[in-house]
Amino acid sequence: MARRKTGFAALFARTALAALLLAVAGCGRKPPVDAVEWTVMGTVARVQMRGPVDKAAVAAVQDVFARVNRLLNAHDPDSELSRLAGLGDDEILARCDPEMRPCYAAAFRLRDETDGRFNPRWRGAGTMDLGGIAKGFAVDRAAAALAGTAQDTLIDLGGNLKAVRGAWRVGIYTPAGGAATRLITLAPGESCATSATYFRGDHIRDGRTGAAAAPDATSVTVVHPASAMRADGLSTTLFLLGRTAGDAFLAAHDPDATALWL
């Protein structure tokens, strides 16, 4: 069930990827932020808008998230993802729902770019898990559904954020807590995602071995100029690689993206 929150309390969100983020309403004479949140894909989803929430827009986001969850749920044996998991990559791309195809393709691309460190088949042959990229994909799909909105809008799915319209300030938190250690501003169209372990534990796995990541940082947040899906996958990848190799990877593959290490 969706829950509506207003004012300062509406601005807090614990990410499913283990960061605590704060979307801060802008200063000046901008309207106050209103928000609606609900649970989906094993985490908290939230739509924030400056001014009264557009119920039709929220419903559109809910529909997108529910559809992605239904088709790409690795824990549901009846999902499309589970039914196609035993096929080869090319067969999956040929037989999957066309709307979901970019998510599969992006996961395969990132696997190839990382020599298997990011691997949707990390649990073994015949399996498929898009958990490191599907939430960002869902955010991009939802943002596309709201392309015509006239209100400043921020979409958040478990800490995968996208500024659909308007600029939004975001604070990145550490487990020491208490205050934001870094404030960033997401320009319209920009996205960010964070990977860490301080809430969910060792859930980030090296796709080559299945072993838990051995990070040299508390967290990494990736800000991408266009794609929440890419930011989602990159944050996982960089957390696995560590600071030095991660920064080199980003410079080589996504020079327009930014990594913030804490």
Domains and CATH numbers, the chain: 3-72+130-261 (3.10.520.10)
**In the structure encoding, which two tokens stand for residue 18, read together?**
């283990």
Contact 176, 38 (CB under 8 A): no
Mean of pLDDT values over 112-138: 94
Least confident of 52-56, 127-131, 214-218: 214-218
DSSP structural state of residue 30? P
Note the pLDDT of residue 216: 76
Mean of pLDDT values over 221-236: 96
Query: For residue 254, what are the contacts with CB-CB under 8 A and spacing of at least 6?
Result: 224, 230, 234
Note the pLDDT of residue 175: 60
Number of C-beta neighbours around residue 220 at 10 A: 29
Mean of pLDDT values over 1-8: 42
Q: Which residue has the higher pLDDT, 16 or 179?
A: 179
How does pLDDT run across 188-227, given as a tens digit for each residue? Answer: 999 999 987 755 545 677 777 766 666 677 789 999 999 9
Q: What is the pTM of this model?
A: 0.88
How does pLDDT run across 99-110, given as a tens digit for each residue? Answer: 999 999 999 999
Q: Does the pLDDT of residue 76 top 70, yes or no? A: yes
